[in-house]
Amino acid sequence: MKVLKIALITNFNITEKANAAVTVANRLLQENCEILIAAFNREKLMRIHKHRDEFRYLPLDTVYAESDILIALGGDGTILEVARRAASRGTPILGINLGRLGYMAELEIGEIESLKALFEGNYTLEKRSMLRVELFSGNELRSFCYALNDAVISNGSVSRIVDLELSEGENRVATYRADGLIIATPTGSTAYSMSAGGAIVDPNVPCFCVTPICPHSFMARPLIFSDAATLEVRNVCAREKMLYLTVDGRMNFELYRNQTVRITKSNLQTNLIRLKPCGFYSKLRLKMSASQMD
């Protein structure tokens, strides 16, 4: 029987998360597996727990390269970070919620007995589409990255109206005066886009969600595009020399006047492990109800 290589990814600087990771590791080691942990976390773990010879401490890139399964312990931000790093290899990701909402997570920390299903092959993979986000200056590609949730163009931490021109292919769609613009995947439709008044979209629907943030017009409404579209957002703001492009809430890029962000469907995807029969709408109802109780 193959020995599964399972990576544990969390913020080991936070004692509660480090303890949760060790609890998960102890359960996994009852099965036929190896536990992979990024080497820079070794000293942090040793301060809380004695040295664990059964863990393999490797460079972070090697952890992602060698693992058969990635377990992300934290909130949705942790899963987003793991998804971007894992997408090129398609490594399956299991989220264990240690945050508040944990919308993308499959398990709570009290449900780790369910991990046995990983060794029995008793799980499914839910494929989530991703964005390819490219930053152009004229015809020159300056940078690119991938997003599972969204790309946001705004004035950064300063809340001030900006001007953005949206095009689909060769066709200009609209010029927005707003605090910013969100382009989201169906996965990201339940995140910032939803908070800004965008539609909630089933992850199986092949589309992009475009949602203006606090638009200065009654005519500016959220739009849904086919994910076969090529969307371009140009900074046409005369008052602000520079705006910001934020991808999945983690990566930031400077967007100067007349520079363009091009967004297309990526050929990469995120594979989320599902151990429960709970579907999208059941989870939506459950998580949204929980958020109202906080």
What are the angstrom distances between the C-alpha of 248 and each of 21, 138, 176? Answer: 24, 24, 22
Q: Please, are residues 235 and 257 in contact by the beta-carbon 8 Å criterion?
A: yes
Work out whether strand 231-235 and strand 162-168 pair parallel, antiparallel, or are unpaired: antiparallel
* Cα–Cα dist 40/180, whole Å: 37
Q: Which two structure tokens, joined as six digits, stand for 280?
A: 């999208």
Helix (H, G, I), strand (E, B) or coil at 12: coil
Given the residues 53, 61, 68, 76, the one annotated as active site: 76
Helix (H, G, I), strand (E, B) or coil at 63: helix
Q: Please, are residues 144 and 135 in contact by the beta-carbon 8 Å criterion?
A: yes
Q: Which two structure tokens, joined as six digits, stand for 86?
A: 């894992």
Active site residue 76: yes
Helix (H) or strand (E) holding 286: helix 280-293
Query: What 8-state DSSP symbol labels residue 26?
Result: H
Beta-bridged to residue 184, according to DSSP, are 150, 209
What are the angstrom distances between the C-alpha of 29 and each of 33, 52, 59? Answer: 6, 12, 21
Beta-bridged to residue 56, according to DSSP, are 36
CA angle 251, 240, 138 (to 5 degrees): 70
Q: Which two structure tokens, joined as six digits, stand for 244?
A: 């910001």
Residues with active-site annotation: 76
